[in-house]
């Protein structure tokens, strides 16, 4: 089962909810739990889960290199590249590696066989194990991606992380914030998506966008309202109007904020949160079946 945890905007508490859910599930030793941090521009789930990283693997994409001795400047490569990563001038071919998606189309269609491909490192995947954080919690397989600083394309790295999913057990994916391509890649093939929001006008606006994306992708979703005791009722009213289940409401709690600032998941705070996450998981299981 693959469960994504997403939010239309950053700062809603998505990662604390994803990590707490993973820890709760790890208590049931019958389940194999994997945690994928696909928020590759700023992965921070490791702060809460404290994994031992055992393996680091570079992720490369293939970008074109043009042999000007063979090139006749016909422009076919530029025509096929929808990303404008290759431009042909009168006596020059310019390649913009940062825009290249590594699809290989240009080298395939070059009539003069003038294009070869070279690897460009865009980031790394780190893999390890979360050991017991608390008496009750169990092991979690942990995988995270780190995009190189300044690298504009997160999607190939997220795709590479997702290839590592073991279909046995439960996979929790921490999705990048927003509603752009990296989000779509991260939630793709999820059985369910938890949309984390907060009861503010910004939270509502970004929730609406996220719901639209999930509906387009036909991914079943429900809402968790974080800091539910501040703000207004407009998120709830929207969910009722749109028949979206509010799966959990987590109140603002100063103790949780203090724990958060020390890198401690909210689940550790006590039975109150354990109950909220147990009920959240029970709702997901009912929905996913
Ligand atoms: S398709 Fe090949 S031959 Fe034509 S401009 Fe591009 S690199 Fe040169
Ligand atoms: S590999 Fe694909 S994305 Fe990259 S330059 Fe060629 S056609 Fe464009």
Task: Out of 17-21, 130-134, 279-283, pick the least confident.
Answer: 130-134
- Which residue, among 289, 202, 198, has the nearest Cα to 252 in the 3D structure? 198
CA of 71, nearest ligand number: 1
Q: Residue 253: which pLDDT band, with cuts at 50, 70 and 90?
A: confident
Task: Out of 98-102, 201-205, 261-265, pick the least confident.
Answer: 261-265
Nearest CA to ligand 2 atom 6: 106
CA of 109, nearest ligand number: 1
The residues pairing with 197 across neighbouring beta strands, listed in sequence order, are 225
- Which residue, among 6, 5, 4, 7, has the nearest Cα to 202 in the 3D structure? 7
Average pLDDT over residues 215-229: 94
What CATH number belongs to 61-121? Answer: 3.30.70.20
The residues pairing with 174 across neighbouring beta strands, listed in sequence order, are 5, 37
Number of Cα atoms under 13 Å in the Cβ half of residue 243: 2
* 268 compared with 47, residue with greater pLDDT: 47
- What pTM was estimated for this model as a whole? 0.89
Strands 115-130 and 140-147: antiparallel
Determine the distance separating the centroid of ligand 2 and the alpha carbon of 26, expressed in angstroms. Answer: 42
In tens, the pLDDT along 149-189 reads 988 889 999 999 999 999 888 999 999 999 889 999 999 99
Q: Residue 135: which pLDDT band, with cuts at 50, 70 and 90?
A: low
Determine the distance separating the centroid of ligand 2 and the alpha carbon of 70, expressed in angstroms. Answer: 18
- Tell me if 71 CB under 6 Å of ligand 1: yes
**Residue ranges of the domains in the chain?**
2-50+131-288, 61-121
Q: Residue 91: is it exposed, middle or buried by C-beta count within 10 angstroms (0-12/13-18/19+)?
A: exposed
Average pLDDT over residues 261-280: 85
Q: Which of 75, 85, 99, 118 to mutate to test the pocket of ligand 2 (most atoms within 8 A of CB)?
A: 85
CA gap 125, 39 in Å, rounded: 12
The CATH architecture that domain 2-50+131-288 belongs to is 3-Layer(aba) Sandwich (3.40)
Q: What per-residue confidence (pLDDT) applies to 141? A: 94
Q: Residue 16: is it exposed, middle or buried by C-beta count within 10 angstroms (0-12/13-18/19+)?
A: buried
Q: Locate the ligand 1 atom nearest the alpha carbon of residue 72 and give its number.
A: 3
Nearest CA to ligand 2 atom 8: 81
* 271 compared with 55, residue with greater pLDDT: 55
In tens, the pLDDT along 3-38 reads 999 998 888 889 999 999 999 998 876 778 999 999
- Tell me if 93 CB under 6 Å of ligand 2: no
């Amino acid at each position: 089962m693959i469960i994504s945890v997403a939010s239309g905007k950053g700062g809603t508490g998505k990662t604390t909810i994803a990590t707490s859910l993973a820890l709760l599930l790890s208590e049931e030793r019958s389940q194999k739990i994997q945690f994928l941090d696909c928020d590759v521009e700023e992965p921070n789930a490791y702060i809460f889960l404290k994994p031992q990283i055992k393996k680091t693997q570079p992720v490369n994409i293939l970008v074109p290199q043009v042999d000007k001795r063979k090139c006749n400047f016909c422009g076919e490569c530029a025509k096929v590249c929808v990303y404008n990563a290759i431009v042909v001038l009168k006596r020059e071919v310019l390649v913009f590696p940062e825009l290249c998606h590594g699809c290989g189309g240009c080298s395939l269609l070059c009539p003069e066989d003038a294009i070869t491909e070279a690897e460009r490192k865009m980031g790394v995947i780190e893999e390890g194990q979360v050991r017991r954080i608390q008496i009750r919690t169990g092991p979690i397989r942990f995988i995270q991606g780190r995009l190189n600083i300044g690298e504009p394309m997160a999607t190939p790295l997220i795709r590479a992380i997702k290839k590592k999913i073991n279909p046995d057990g439960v996979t929790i994916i921490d999705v990048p914030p927003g509603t752009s391509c990296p989000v779509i890649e991260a939630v793709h093939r999820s059985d369910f998506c938890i949309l984390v929001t907060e009861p503010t006008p910004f939270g509502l606006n970004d929730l609406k966008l996220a719901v639209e994306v999930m509906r387009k992708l036909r991914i079943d979703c429900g809402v968790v309202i974080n800091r539910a005791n501040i703000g207004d009722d407009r998120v709830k009213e929207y969910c009722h109007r749109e028949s979206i289940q509010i799966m959990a409401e987590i109140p603002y709690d100063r103790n949780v904020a203090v724990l958060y600032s020390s890198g401690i998941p909210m689940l550790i705070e006590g039975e109150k949160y354990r109950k909220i996450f147990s009920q959240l998981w029970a709702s997901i299981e009912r929905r996913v079946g």
